[in-house]
Amino acid sequence: MKRPIIAGNWKMNNNKAETKELISKIAPLVKDAKCEVVVCVPFTSIETARKAARGTNIQLGAQNVHWAEKGAFTGEISANMLAELKVKYVIVGHSERRQYFGETDETVNLRAKAALNAGMKVIICVGETLEERESGKTAEVVIRQTEKALKDITKQELKRVVIAYEPVWAIGTGKTATAQDADGTIKIIRKVIRKLYGRASGQSIRVQYGGSMNAGNAAELMAMPQIDGGLIGGASLKPEDFAKIVNCAS
């Protein structure tokens, strides 16, 4: 049985005090969750989050990672630096990174491999823009992004990979893909995995939906056969809403 995974992407929100407060509010609300619960916090809040989450079922995640071990990469953070802080999950290829910070399919792949090499798990984000969707390119885009992100990642390493299907037009906009649409696109992603790694991997890899998932629509999305969880932005900052989503996935 696959264990669903709900991950909060806090983006550039919550200083140390706010991090402590938010985790202390979320923890009792999700303590009986059957799914995995992850919070991906800003780098500067990782240490605080780790302490606040100690003894709870909340796992620690980061929002990005650099591929080099160390060196002249001003402003970047290496995989070993994150692993040392007990980070378990790293998001790579979030559309905001692709859109605003020049992230490419190639750098997404490098970042994913670096995180996996350091022993962490990755949440690889893929998804089409509105323009791509309207020109009928959704399948083409998610196939390309998935294939390129997974280049040279072994079948063994794939066990530590989660894919997040996040239509860009649905992120932070309040617009959600219909459950059927999201399910259909995730089916295409699974087909790519099946082609690259075999039937069993195509079935066993966990694929989340992300994009304005909230307390009101989570149950419908989570009920879809292809959806194994959610990557949650805005709603992950509201403890009750986040907990409701977690409980829908449980």
Q: Which residues are catalytic?
A: 94, 166
231 binds ligand PEP (CB under 6 A): yes
Among 16, 22, 47, which Cα is nearest to 235's? 22
- CA-based angle 140:197:191, to the nearest 5? 35
Among 100, 106, 239, 77, which Cα is nearest to 171's? 100
What is the CB neighbour count within 10 angstroms for residue 15?
A: 11
167 binds ligand PEP (CB under 6 A): no
233 binds ligand PEP (CB under 6 A): yes
Among 117, 99, 123, 112, which Cα is nearest to 7's? 123
- 22 in helix, strand or coil? helix
Spatial separation of the C-alpha atoms in residues 154 and 149, rounded to whole Å: 12
* Span near ligand PEP by CB under 6 A; candidates 29-37, 41-49, 139-147, 226-234: 226-234
Spatial separation of the C-alpha atoms in residues 68 and 72, rounded to whole Å: 9
- Of 202 and 210, which CB lies nearer to ligand PEP in the complex structure? 210
Size of the residue set binding ligand PEP (CB under 6 A): 13
Spatial separation of the C-alpha atoms in residues 118 and 116, rounded to whole Å: 5
Residues 1-40, one symbol each (x = binds ligand PEP by CB under 6 A, - = not), give --------x-------------------------------
List 82, 126, 221, 232, residue binding ligand PEP (CB under 6 A): 232
- Of 103 and 166, which CB lies nearer to ligand PEP in the complex structure? 166
List 36, 103, 128, 166, residue binding ligand PEP (CB under 6 A): 166
* Span near ligand PEP by CB under 6 A; candidates 19-27, 151-159, 177-185, 228-236: 228-236
Q: At closest approach, how far in Å is the CB of 128 from ligand PEP?
A: 14
* Span near ligand PEP by CB under 6 A; candidates 55-63, 186-194, 195-203, 233-241: 233-241
Spatial separation of the C-alpha atoms in residues 181 and 152, rounded to whole Å: 29
Spatial separation of the C-alpha atoms in residues 35 and 211, rounded to whole Å: 19
- 53 in helix, strand or coil? helix
Spatial separation of the C-alpha atoms in residues 235 and 35, rounded to whole Å: 17
Residues 177-216, one symbol each (x = binds ligand PEP by CB under 6 A, - = not), give ---------------------------------xxxx---
172 binds ligand PEP (CB under 6 A): yes
Interface residues with ligand PEP (CB under 6 A) are 9, 166, 171-172, 210-213, 231-235
